Chain A
Amino acid sequence: MSSTTAKSTYLQGFRDGLPFLLVIAPFGLLFGVVGTEAGLNIAEVMGFGVLVIAGAAQFTAVQLMVEDAPTLIVLATSLAVNLRMAMYSAAMVPHLGKARLWQRALVSYSMVDQTYALADQKFQDETAWTLTQKLRYFAGTVTPICSTWYAMTYVGAKLGSSIPPEYALDFAIPITFLALIAPALRTLPHVIAAATSVVVALLCMNVPYSLGIIIAGIAAMIAGAQAELMLKKERAS
C-alpha cells in the first residue's frame, strides 16, 4: 500500500464528515448556550464538551442537574443514554480490533454517532481496505466533526450569558431531544419503546429522586426488545 492511498482515505473521511457539520455546529452551539443558561461556567461547559463529548448525555445531565436530581441519578441516567456506544464499539472490533492500544483508545474517545455511522458504512463497503487505511479514514471523519463540536460549544457558552430568559430556552432541551428521537422511530419496536417510555415516565412523575426516568427507561428497553422478538416470531411462523 502506498502512502498516497492512505493519505487519500484520510481526505475521503474528512470530506465525508463535512455534511455532518450542519448538525454538529448548531448542536454544540446549543449545548454551550443551554449549559451556560443553566448556570455552568465556561470551564464546566467545555469540560462536558471535550471530556464527555456526547451531546445527548450532556443535555441529559444538565436537565437533571437543573431539576436538582441526586448526583447518582444524574450519572446513571446520562450513562444509560450512552450505553449504545458499547454497540458501536463492538461493531468496530472486526475492522479496528488489531490496531495498537493507543490508537484504539483514541478511536474510542472520538466515537460519536456521526463518526461511527460514517466508518461503519464505509468499512462494510471497502472490504479491501487495510487497517491503516481504515484508521486514517476514521481520523479523517473525526477532524472536522470533533473540532467543530469543541469550537461551537465554546461559541455557545460565550453567547449564552447574553440571552435573556424570555427566549424560552427552558424548552431547547425538549425540542432537541424530540428532534433526535423522531428519526430514530424507524421500526415498530422503536415506536413501542418510546411510547412505553412516555407513559411510564408520566405515571412515575411523583417517584422521588427522578427515579421515574430510570424505571421508564428500563421498562421501555424491555418493551422494545420484547416487541422485536414477537415480530420476529410472527414473521417466522
Chain B
Amino acid sequence: MISDDVNVWLIIGVLALGTFISRFSFLGLIGDRELPEWILRHLRYTAVAVLPALIAPVVLFPPATNGEVDPARLSAAIVTLAVGVWTRNVLWAIILGAATLYGMLYLTGGFG
C-alpha cells in the first residue's frame, strides 16, 4: 500500500508536466533540428533499460512472499517473457502469464 506520507498529487503534477515536455520537446520547442546521433542511440534503449531493472528484484524475490523465491510467480514471469518474445503480442503474453500465475497458485495452494 502507498503510505499516507506520499504526496500523490505532487507526483501526478510533475509527472504530467515532465511527460508533456518530452512529447512537446521537438514539435513545440526545438523544432526541425537533427538530434545528435549519440543521443538518439541512447534514447532508443530507454524503455528496455529501465523497465527490466524495475521488475527483476520483484520477480525473483516477491515482497508478497516476504522475498522468498515463489514458483508460481517465477513461472508466470518466464511464460510471459517467452510468449511475448515468441508471438510479439503483448496481450497474449499478459493473458498466458496471468493464467500460469493463477494455475500455479491453485496447484501450490497459494490461493486463499
Distance of A15 Cα from B100 Cα, bound (Å): 34
Q: How far is the CB of B69 from chain A (nearest CB, A)?
A: 13
Distance of A200 Cα from B56 Cα, bound (Å): 10
Known: A77-B50, A89-B26. A61 touches B15 (CB 8 A): yes
Total chain B interface residues with beta-carbon distance under 8 A: 78
Q: How far is the CB of B36 from chain A (nearest CB, A)?
A: 11
Known: A75-B11, A175-B77, A183-B88. A94 touches B32 (CB 8 A): yes
- B14 to chain A: which residues have CB within 8 Å? 75
B84 & A48 in contact (Cβ 8 Å cutoff) = no
Chain A contact residues: helix, strand, loop or mixed: helix
A105 & B28 in contact (Cβ 8 Å cutoff) = yes
From A50, which residue of chain B is reached at the shortest CB distance? B16
Q: How far is the CB of B82 from chain A (nearest CB, A)?
A: 8
User: Is the C-beta of A139 less than 8 angstroms from some C-beta in chain B?
Assistant: no
- B42 to chain A: which residues have CB within 8 Å? 221-222, 224-225
Question: Scoring A residues 176 to 213 as 1 if CB is less than 8 Å from chain B, else 0, what string do you get?
Answer: 11111111110001100111111011100100000011
Distance of A32 Cα from B24 Cα, bound (Å): 26
- A181 to chain B: which residues have CB within 8 Å? 47-48, 51-52, 81, 84
From A218, which residue of chain B is reached at the shortest CB distance? B49
Q: In the complex, which of the residues B2, B20, B83 contacts A65, with contact meaning CB atoms closer than 8 Å?
A: B2
Q: In the complex, which of the residues B23, B30, B77, B85 contacts A174, with contact meaning CB atoms closer than 8 Å?
A: B77
Q: How far is the CB of A55 from chain B (nearest CB, A)?
A: 11
Q: In the complex, which of the residues B1, B24, B105 contacts A89, with contact meaning CB atoms closer than 8 Å?
A: B24
CB interface residues, B 40-55, toward A, < 8 Å? 40-55
User: Is the C-beta of B110 less than 8 angstroms from some C-beta in chain A?
Assistant: yes
Chain B contact residues: helix, strand, loop or mixed: helix
Distance of A52 Cα from B61 Cα, bound (Å): 30
Distance of A178 Cα from B42 Cα, bound (Å): 21
Give the interface size bracket for A toward B. 35 or more
Distance of A68 Cα from B7 Cα, bound (Å): 11
B47 & A184 in contact (Cβ 8 Å cutoff) = yes
From B12, which residue of chain A is reached at the shortest CB distance? A47
B91 & A26 in contact (Cβ 8 Å cutoff) = yes
Q: In the complex, which of the residues B2, B24, B57, B60 contacts A39, with contact meaning CB atoms closer than 8 Å?
A: B2
B23 & A178 in contact (Cβ 8 Å cutoff) = no
Query: Assuming A68-B6, A222-B42, what are 17 further A-B pairs, CB within 8 angstroms?
Result: A39-B1, A48-B15, A52-B15, A60-B50, A66-B2, A67-B63, A77-B54, A78-B15, A79-B19, A84-B44, A86-B26, A170-B62, A189-B45, A198-B56, A201-B53, A202-B57, A225-B42
Residues of B within 8 A of A (CB): 1-3, 6-16, 18-20, 22-28, 30-32, 35, 38, 40-64, 72-73, 76-77, 80-85, 88-91, 93-94, 97-98, 101-102, 105, 110-112
Residues of A within 8 A of B (CB): 22-23, 26, 38-40, 44, 47-48, 51-54, 56-58, 60-68, 71, 74-75, 77-90, 92-94, 96-97, 101, 104-105, 107-109, 111, 166-168, 170-171, 173-185, 189-190, 193-198, 200-202, 205, 212-213, 216-225, 228-229
**Across chains A and B, which 7 residue pairs bring their CB atoms closest together, nearest first?**
A182-B84, A224-B45, A220-B49, A216-B53, A179-B93, A201-B53, A51-B16
